[in-house]
Every structure is written in C-alpha cells, then in structure tokens.
C-alpha cells in the first residue's frame, strides 16, 4: 500500500493539476481574460460555488463548448474530459454505449447520471445505457465529477458522476429549428423555444426526433423522440418554483459484437436479426427554493419517474454446438423491467458569520416499486452463416418473475470552513439504507422464496483546498463510494447460488490547477481507488454471463489537461490519463488471478484538439477543429490465452487505436451550418474488445468508419 501512496506523491510533485478542464460562469460564454475565481460549478452539494472551493476533480463543459462541438452523441462531449472514455460503435451510434472513468471499459453500476443534481434512475436499478433516456438538446452545460461522490449524491457515484444541467428560460422570446444527417444512416430533427413573458414566469421547451436506418453495420436501426418542458416561477421575492418534465420514447436494434474473423475480414453482417431494446421514460421534477434570509435557504424536491425497458438482448443469446459445430439451435431470453419512483429530497443550507463557513444538511427518500419478468426463448441459428434468424418465446418458462418494492432512505451533511482566506476545508457524511422487499411471482417454479434484504452504509468525505491566488491552487481529498447489488442481478445470481455483496471503494486524490495567463492553463489529478467486492462479469461452463464479486481491486493513475492559446484565434488542448487497473485478490475456478491486470482496461487515454476561430464581423463567424482520440492497448481477458504461430501462448489483447476527426462550423446572423468528418483515415477499431474463451478468440464491438455528418440550424 505504501509504495502506491509514495508513487502518487512523486507524481503529485511533478504534475500541476486542476478540478476541471472547461470553465462555466453564469454567462453562457466567457472571454479569455476571465480568471479562476469567476468560474462557478454546481458540485456535489447541489449549490453553485466557485470551482476553486471544490476539493475534487470536476470538469464543466459549458454552453460555448456544446455549441462549438455540435455533438450528435454525448460521447463527443464527455470524452473531452481527462480520464473519461464513453465508447459507442457502428451499432451503438444508436446511443448504446460503454463507459470508463477511473475504471475499465464496462457496463457496471459505477457511474451516476443526474439531471440538475438529481438521479434519473433509482439506485439498484442501474442501466449502463441510461443516457439514452435523456434529451441532449435541453442541456446548457454538463458537469463531470470524477471519483466517488456517494457522500452527497448517493450510491453508484464511484468512477464518476455526470450532471446534466437543463437550460434556463431566456429573457426574450427565442428558439431554434435544426436538422442533421450523416452517412451512418442518421437523420435528426430538433426544435427549441424559450421565453420569459413576465418577471415572475419563464419557460423552455425543447425536443428532437432521431431516426437511423441502414447503418454501416447491419441490424443497427433506431428511433427516438425526446421532449423536455421546463418552467420557472418566482412566487415572490424569496420563493422560487421550478418544474421539469422529460419524456423519452426509444427503440433500437441490438446488433451485438463481431467475431475476430468477421472483424478483421471486413464482414460487418450482424449475427443478430431480431434482438432489440425499447425504453419509455417519463420524469417529473418539482423544486421549491425558499430563501428565509441572507444566511438560510431550503430546497424541496419532489420527483416522479415512470420507466419501462423491454429487451430481447443480444448478449443473452447462446448458440448450441456439437463438437464445435453449430447445431442450428440456441437459446436466449426476453425481459421487461418496469419501475415507478416517488422521491422526496429536502436540503437546507446555513451560512455562518464565522470563518466563511456553511453547513448543508438534508435527507432523501426514494420508493420505487419494480416489476421484472424474464422468459427463455428458443433461437433458430443458420449453421452455415452463424446468424440467429428467428426465435420463439417459451411463455411461462421464467428465468425471473418478481415484484420488488425498493426503498432507499438517506441523510447527509456537508460542512465547509475557511480558517484563513486561502484555505477551505470540506467534510461530508452520508448514511444510506436500502430495503428490497422481494415477492417471487413464480414461487416454486424458479427463483428464491420471498425475502426482505437490507443494506446500509456510511460514506464520509474529507477535502482541502488551498489557493495560492485567483489563478492557481491545489486540493486533496479522501472519499468513499458504495454501491448495493442491483435487484435483478442479486436475485438472478441467487438462483445459481452465487450471492452478490455490496461493493465499497476508498478514493485518495491530490490535484491542482494553474492558469498562468489567458494563454495557458494546466490541470491534473492523481488518484488511488481501492475496491472491495468489486462486481465483475464472468462466463459459466455453458457460456452464459453471470455477475460475481472480485475480492479486491485497485486503480491508480494521473489525469491531466493542457490548454494553450498561442494567439487569440487558435487554441491547442490535450486531455489525457495514464492509469493502472489491477486485481489485488481474485480467484476464479480455483485459479489465483491476484496481482494481475484487469481486462478491458486501457492504461492510456487521450483527446487532443486544435481549434481555429475567426469572427469576420458581428454577423459572420467560422471555426474548424482537428481532433485526435487515443485509446491504448489493453488485455481483453484476465484468463484468455491465445496461441502464437510458434506454439507459445500469451494473454489476449487489443492493440488500441488512434482516430482522427474534423469539425467545421459557420455562423451567419441566425443561421448555423456545420460538418464533421469522422475517422478521417477510416481506421478499423473497436469501441470495446473482449475475449470469448469458448471460441478462443476476441470479439469486437466495432467502431465507426469514415463518415460525414452535416447539420443546419436557424436561431431566432
């Protein structure tokens, strides 16, 4: 343990670091002359505060960045943050994705997705594709807080938290209509309208419809409708009411991964012909803010979520073989996951006339009844091509069929104090309790008997900021993270006598930042994240996926960002990370894999951008950006061995990739035109590669080919 702390301290002495890469002020855009003290972020306490007062690695993608990037996928935004890798593919350009933040590339419940500081899904009903349940046109900025934030936000905030801040109503009537298309098969229509007709009332309405057909990989179509309506009402001088309604209707094919032969041979025909995912998400949030006086403020939040996700998942299909040959048959499943949530959160902030200190206390209750049903299917396989061409549901042959009342209750506080002007100390503590009241609707057929399971945890955080001046400073923190078992995972695995335990994490972090002038900004962080009972996915003897706990894991590394403006019109940015991800204690099938590298865990991640901006006059502007995305080599399995031509064996790996993109924007009065060239050198790469021990080879979720994307928007 000591050697890792010494290594981190050594790096800390050499690396200038920061809590964020992109700055956000109360205005939508900032000038190059603004300094660190003017930057405001929401942070984990749901209160706006100076970035220099947050003892953690927090990055903000502001409205100016969003407008300039013209992203048609959230990965194009968040991958600009050091240490963040959100991967999509030719199939997953339909918004299905993987995520890696201080963790391997995975689908695990290590990330918390929030809208205006509040979770979009209940804890224990995590879905790694939850971002498809969001409306990206409605966000004014995105905040990424890396490392555990469980002390305030709640469980599952382990690798990082993604907080999407909805746009505020504009002072005058405004809006936009837009259209986007590309040769990945996507067309998208979008609109916005916003106004504040009186001093007391304002509204925002924004939505989009996306449709994808005939993409570069077969069976990757999708359709999505997303609408957000937000109102802000100033009841009186001391009381505000904000309401947000989100409706997301989504359906997509699930093409699955490709074999190594198809991947390297350029055969991108999907093995799937019928797998799909459907999601219908409805959220309503009401927030009342009461300013009792200059030192006291209370916020009351009431949320209702209604969500259904139906799947015929590609990752559950298993093909039957006889002596290695396909028999023409296989198995799979269909499942439906429904929940309705009723959430209340109360938070009070009290400012003291002592050492610029403040106290935030709060409590939350989330009651989410869930219904889950999963039935087996018979799959027809074409033995010549290996394609799954048809299926039949075995009605009544349940894998799971249950109702569970999920109750999460919590209390938290955060205290901040500045004994001297340059120093701020932050201490936070949260208690979480979980109750799963499980009712087996297929009792005696499948599943465990009715049971009530309880989990609880106390998660602390302690952080320190020291600012040398308004342009440079350092911070350090210790924080814990906690994630209870997912309900469906817990009771599925109990069927197979594999109990799932809660995962706990300990995070140690040091960081700092420096803005020597308006031309140069440096930032970075070093961290050590130690996990207990980390949840991992394995394959059983029948080639079925299942989840289990690894004994102990460790991730540690450095994240850094550099922005240089040699002249006013040009900016050069590089954001990257170098990390190690290890199994500290892990046994599988009687074999000790302790002290080995984890799978799908690249050591090196990086994004570099060069941007040229030119305003020819007040009506005409132009910008062009060249972007480079780097993903380093990684093992595809902790156990997978491949045989070389000389008869030796080695661990299965993926070589990593380099992808280059170009973006150009032109604005003229209220009109915007833009174009993207994606993967300009048409490199063959994988969004994620993993090892299939039954086939003895890697399988690949393939990345996007050379593609061109165009968009137009009129703003009024």
DSSP summary character for residue 109: S
**pLDDT of res. 91:** 56
14 confidence band (pLDDT: 50, 70, 90): very low
- Do the beta carbons of residue 192 and residue 176 sit within 8 Å? yes
Q: Per residue in 168-206, pLDDT tens?
A: 999 999 999 999 999 989 999 999 999 999 999 999 999
- Average the pLDDT over 145-153 and give the result: 79
Q: Per residue in 517-526, pLDDT tens?
A: 778 999 999 9
| Number of Cα atoms under 13 Å in the Cβ half of residue 688 | 24
Evaluate if residue 358 carries a pLDDT over 50: yes
What mean pLDDT is reported for the chain? 87
Q: Per residue in 692-706, pLDDT tens?
A: 777 778 889 888 899
- Do the beta carbons of residue 600 and residue 55 sit within 8 Å? no
642 confidence band (pLDDT: 50, 70, 90): low
Smallest CA-to-CA distance from 298 within 289, 307, 286 is with 289
Residue 293 parent element (H or E): strand 276-293
Q: Classify the C-alpha dihedral 589-593-594-600 as positive or negative.
A: negative
Smallest CA-to-CA distance from 110 within 149, 166, 70 is with 149
418 confidence band (pLDDT: 50, 70, 90): very high
**pLDDT of res. 544:** 65
**Measured between alpha carbons, how far is 676 from 572 in angstroms, rounded to an integer?**
19
Higher pLDDT, 509 or 638: 509
**Measured between alpha carbons, how far is 301 from 241 in angstroms, rounded to an integer?**
10
| Number of Cα atoms under 13 Å in the Cβ half of residue 103 | 27
Q: Does domain 2-715 have CATH number 2.40.170.20?
A: yes
**pLDDT of res. 571:** 94
677 confidence band (pLDDT: 50, 70, 90): very high
Higher pLDDT, 271 or 302: 302
Q: Per residue in 280-293, pLDDT tens?
A: 999 999 999 999 99
The residues with which 621 forms a beta bridge, in sequence order, are 615, 667
- Average the pLDDT over 642-646 and give the result: 58
Strand-pair category, 634-635 with 591-592: unpaired
Torsion of CA 466, 468, 469, 474, to 10 degrees: -50
Residues 6+ apart with CB under 8 A from 62: 22, 23, 24, 25, 28, 29, 30, 141
DSSP class per residue in 478-545: EEEEEEPPPHHHHHHHHHTT-----EEEEEEEEEEEEEEETTEEEEEEEEEEEEEEEEEEEE-TTS-E
**pLDDT of res. 72:** 85
Q: Per residue in 565-591, pLDDT tens?
A: 999 899 999 999 999 999 999 887 777
Strand-pair category, 111-115 with 160-166: parallel
DSSP class per residue in 125-169: ---TTGGGGS-GGGEEEEEEEES--TTTT-TT-SSEEEEEEEPPP
The distance of Cα 579 from the centroid of its chain, to the nearest Å, equals 18
**pLDDT of res. 215:** 85
Assign 265 to helix, strand or coil: helix
What six digits make up the tokens of 487? Answer: 């309900």
Predicted model pTM = 0.89
**pLDDT of res. 42:** 65
DSSP summary character for residue 94: G
Q: Classify the C-alpha dihedral 64-70-75-81 as positive or negative.
A: negative
Q: Would you report the helix, strand and coil content of the chain in percent, each value rounded to 5?
A: 10, 60, 30
DSSP summary character for residue 53: G
**Strand ranges inside 9-51, DSSP E:** 40-41, 49-50
420 confidence band (pLDDT: 50, 70, 90): very high
**Backbone φ/ψ region at 156: left (φ over 0), alpha (ψ -120 to 50), beta:** left
Q: Per residue in 217-232, pLDDT tens?
A: 889 899 999 999 999 9
CB count in 10 Å sphere of residue 15: 18
**Measured between alpha carbons, how far is 180 from 73 in angstroms, rounded to an integer?**
12
**Measured between alpha carbons, how far is 515 from 519 in angstroms, rounded to an integer?**
8
- Do the beta carbons of residue 679 and residue 703 sit within 8 Å? yes
- Average the pLDDT over 420-444 and give the result: 94
Which of 41-45, 367-371, 392-396, 491-495 comes out lowest in average pLDDT? Answer: 41-45
Evaluate if residue 13 carries a pLDDT over 70: no
**Measured between alpha carbons, how far is 489 from 466 in angstroms, rounded to an integer?**
43
**Measured between alpha carbons, how far is 526 from 558 in angstroms, rounded to an integer?**
4
**pLDDT of res. 156:** 77
Evaluate if residue 654 carries a pLDDT over 80: yes
| Number of Cα atoms under 13 Å in the Cβ half of residue 603 | 8
Torsion of CA 254, 486, 403, 222, to 10 degrees: -20
**pLDDT of res. 645:** 58
The residues with which 410 forms a beta bridge, in sequence order, are 364, 432
CB count in 10 Å sphere of residue 195: 17
Evaluate if residue 263 carries a pLDDT over 90: no
**Measured between alpha carbons, how far is 143 from 155 in angstroms, rounded to an integer?**
18
- Do the beta carbons of residue 663 and residue 649 sit within 8 Å? no
Residues 6+ apart with CB under 8 A from 286: 241, 242, 243, 301, 302, 303
Q: Per residue in 591-639, pLDDT tens?
A: 788 888 999 999 999 999 999 999 999 899 999 999 999 999 999 988 7
Torsion of CA 205, 206, 209, 210, to 10 degrees: -160
Sequence ranges of the domains in the chain:
2-715
- Average the pLDDT over 676-698 and give the result: 88
- Average the pLDDT over 254-265 and give the result: 86
**Measured between alpha carbons, how far is 535 from 203 in angstroms, rounded to an integer?**
43
- Could you give the percent of the chain with pLDDT greater than 70? 89
Please name the residue that has the structure tokens 């197979």.
496
Residue 345 parent element (H or E): strand 325-351
Evaluate if residue 136 carries a pLDDT over 60: yes
**pLDDT of res. 21:** 29
643 confidence band (pLDDT: 50, 70, 90): low
SS3 track for 412-473:
EEEEEECCCCCEEEEEEEEEEEEEEEEEECCCCCCCCCCEEEEEEEEEEEEEEEEEEECCEE
58 confidence band (pLDDT: 50, 70, 90): confident
- Average the pLDDT over 111-136 and give the result: 90
Please name the residue that has the structure tokens 């979980």.
434
Strand-pair category, 57-61 with 570-585: unpaired
- Do the beta carbons of residue 658 and residue 630 sit within 8 Å? yes
Residue 83 parent element (H or E): none
479 confidence band (pLDDT: 50, 70, 90): very high
Assign 275 to helix, strand or coil: coil
**Measured between alpha carbons, how far is 140 from 148 in angstroms, rounded to an integer?**
24
């Amino acid at each position: 343990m000591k050697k890792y702390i010494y290594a981190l301290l050594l790096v800390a002495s050499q690396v200038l670091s920061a809590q964020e890469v992109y700055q956000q002020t109360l205005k939508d855009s900032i000038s190059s002359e603004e300094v660190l003290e003017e930057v405001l972020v929401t942070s984990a306490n749901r209160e706006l505060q100076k970035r220099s007062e947050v003892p953690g690695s927090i990055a903000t993608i502001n409205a100016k960045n969003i407008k300039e990037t013209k992203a048609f996928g959230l990965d194009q935004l968040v991958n600009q943050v050091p240490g963040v890798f959100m991967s999509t593919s030719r199939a997953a350009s339909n918004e299905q994705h993987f995520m890696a933040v201080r963790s391997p590339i995975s689908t695990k419940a290590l990330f918390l997705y929030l809208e205006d500081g509040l979770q979009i899904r209940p804890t224990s009903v995590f879905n790694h594709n939850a971002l498809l349940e969001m409306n990206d046109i409605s966000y004014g900025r995105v905040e990424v807080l890396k490392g555990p934030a469980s002390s305030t936000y709640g469980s599952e905030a382990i690798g990082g938290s993604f907080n999407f801040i909805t746009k505020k109503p504009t002072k005058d009537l405004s809006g936009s209509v837009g259209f986007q298309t590309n040769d990945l098969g996507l067309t998208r229509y979008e609109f916005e309208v916003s106004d504040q007709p009186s001093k007391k009332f304002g509204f925002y309405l924004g939505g989009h419809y996306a449709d994808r057909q005939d993409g570069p990989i077969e069976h990757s179509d999708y359709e999505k409708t997303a609408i957000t309506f937000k109102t802000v009402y100033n009841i009186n001088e001391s009381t505000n009411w904000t309401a947000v309604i989100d409706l997301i209707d989504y359906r997509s094919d699930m093409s699955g991964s490709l074999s190594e032969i198809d991947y390297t041979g350029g055969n991108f025909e999907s093995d799937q012909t019928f797998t799909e995912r459907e999601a219908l998400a409805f959220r309503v949030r009401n927030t009342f803010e009461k300013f009792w006086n200059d030192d006291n403020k209370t916020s009351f939040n009431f949320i209702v979520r209604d969500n259904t996700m139906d799947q015929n998942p590609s990752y559950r299909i298993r093909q039957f073989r006889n002596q290695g040959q396909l028999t023409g048959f296989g198995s799979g499943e269909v499942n439906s996951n429904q929940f309705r949530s009723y959430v209340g959160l109360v938070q009070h902030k009290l400012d003291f006339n002592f050492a610029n200190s403040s106290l935030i206390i709060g409590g939350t209750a989330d009651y989410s009844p869930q219904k889950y049903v999963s039935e087996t299917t018979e799959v027809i396989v074409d033995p010549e091509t290996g394609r799954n061409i048809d299926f039949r549901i075995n009605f009544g042959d349940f894998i799971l069929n249950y109702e569970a009342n999920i109750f999460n209750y919590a209390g938290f506080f955060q205290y901040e104090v500045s004994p001297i002007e340059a120093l701020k100390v932050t201490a936070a503590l949260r208690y979480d309790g979980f109750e799963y009241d499980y009712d087996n609707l297929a009792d005696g057929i499948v599943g465990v008997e009715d049971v009530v399971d309880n989990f609880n945890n106390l998660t602390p955080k302690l952080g320190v900021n020291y600012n040398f001046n308004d342009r440079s400073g350092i911070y350090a923190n210790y924080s814990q993270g906690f994630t209870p078992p997912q309900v469906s995972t817990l009771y599925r695995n109990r069927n197979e006598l594999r109990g799932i335990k809660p995962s706990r994490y300990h995070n140690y972090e040091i960081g700092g930042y420096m803005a020597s002038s308006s031309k140069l900004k440096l930032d970075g962080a070093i961290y050590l994240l130690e996990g207990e009972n980390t949840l991992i996915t394995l394959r059983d003897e029948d080639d079925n996926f299942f989840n289990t706990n690894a004994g102990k894991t460790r991730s540690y590394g450095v994240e850094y960002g550099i922005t240089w403006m040699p002249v006013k019109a040009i900016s050069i940015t590089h954001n990257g990370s170098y990390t190690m991800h290890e199994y500290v204690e892990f046994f599988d099938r009687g074999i000790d894999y302790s002290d080995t590298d984890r799978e799908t865990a690249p050591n090196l991640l990086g994004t570099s951008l060069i941007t040229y901006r030119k305003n020819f006059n007040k009506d005409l502007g132009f910008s062009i950006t060249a972007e480079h995305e780097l993903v380093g080599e990684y093992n595809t399995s902790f156990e997978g061995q491949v045989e070389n031509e000389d008869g030796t064996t080695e661990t299965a790996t993926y070589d990593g990739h380099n992808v280059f993109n170009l973006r150009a924007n032109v604005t003229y009065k209220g009109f915007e035109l833009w174009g993207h060239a994606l993967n300009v050198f048409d490199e063959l790469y994988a969004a994620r590669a993993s090892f299939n021990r039954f086939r003895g080879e890697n399988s690949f979720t393939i990345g996007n080919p050379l593609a061109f994307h165009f968009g137009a928007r009129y703003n009024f």
